[in-house]
Amino acid sequence: MRPSAIPRPALHLVTVADAMAALSRLCLLEYPIEGQHCATRLPTPDPRQQEILAALQLSLPQQ
Residue 60 covered by a domain: no
Residues of the domain holding 43: 3-55
Residue 63 covered by a domain: no
Question: What's the number of domains the chain is made of?
Answer: 1
Whole-number Å distance between alpha carbons of 2 and 20: 31
Residue 61 covered by a domain: no
Tell me which of 22 and 61 has the higher pLDDT. Answer: 22
pTM of whole model > 0.85? no
Whether residue 63 is predicted with pLDDT greater than 80 in this model: the reply is: no
Q: In angstroms, what CA-CA distances link 2 with 14, 31, 63?
A: 21, 48, 40
Nearest CA among 47, 48, 28 for reference residue 38: 28
Residue 40 covered by a domain: yes
